Amino acid sequence: MSTSWTDLPLFPLQTVLFPDGLLQLKVFEARYLDLMSRCLRNQSPFGVVCIQQGSEVRSDADASASFESIGVLAQVLDVDAEGPGILKVRCQGGQRIQVGQPRQLADGLWVAPADLLDADDVTAVPTELSPCAQALGHAIESLAEQDQHPFIQPHRLHDAGWVANRWCEILPISLAAKQKLMALDAPAIRLKLVDDYLRGKGVL
């Protein structure tokens, strides 16, 4: 995989994608239908960035849109046609990226220079934070009983970064808080902040 791009295609969303996270999209705009087709054909990634200002759907306000400067690569896993001109797309989050100044192409697609950031080191869950990992395991089992499977397997409950990221995806916290947690370089610190939140809410 390339470590830098001159014009990485971007998919701005009102959500924060985390590395190894599952992203499910309903795509109907021509600019993104074309993007998904290219990504599938070339097995190439695109960048997911959280919107600071603007809309997910193209509008006259597109020119004033602004996005977070740290995003995550996404790789298309599979595509299903929901109807004429509508695709259901499943993607997986990859490594984080540092995004430069975006520009908009004639078809409305945003592109930007981007550099790949280091992946989280695989860090064992510290003993004092093991209840946090155990609680996630219980949550996964409970969701599975309801036929909900929000996480891509394998489930790495021993990995501090993986556990922290999965909690961040399902916790009812603001987009700004999720963005800050995703951007943190140290997975053990990310997990500690999640643990503090869960204890504060009486979950642990």
CATH number of the domain bearing residue 131: 1.10.4060.10
- The Cα–Cα gap between 154 and 78 comes to 18
Q: Do 159 and 193 belong to one domain?
A: yes
Predicted pLDDT of residue 203: 86
Q: Do 133 and 193 belong to one domain?
A: yes
Q: Per-residue DSSP letters for 46-71? A: EEEEEEEES-SS--GGGGG-EE-SEE
Q: Per the domain annotation, does 147 fall within a domain?
A: yes
Specify burial of residue 104 (Cβ count, 10 A radius: 0-12, 13-18, 19+). middle
Q: Do 31 and 86 belong to one domain?
A: yes
Q: Do 94 and 164 belong to one domain?
A: no
> Can you give the residue range of the structural domain that contains 108?
4-116
CB 36 within 8 A of CB 89: yes
Predicted pLDDT of residue 64: 65
**Distant-in-sequence, close-in-space partners of 25: CB < 8 Å, separation ≥ 6:** 11, 32, 87, 88, 89, 90, 91
Q: From first to last of its 204 residues, what are the pLDDT tens digits of the chain?
A: 678 999 999 999 999 999 999 999 999 999 999 999 999 999 999 999 999 876 655 554 466 678 999 999 999 999 998 788 899 999 999 999 999 999 999 999 999 999 999 999 899 999 999 999 999 999 999 999 999 999 999 999 999 999 999 999 999 999 999 999 999 999 999 999 999 999 999 888
Q: Do 105 and 181 belong to one domain?
A: no
Q: Do 93 and 156 belong to one domain?
A: no
Predicted pLDDT of residue 60: 47
Q: Count the domains in the chain.
A: 2
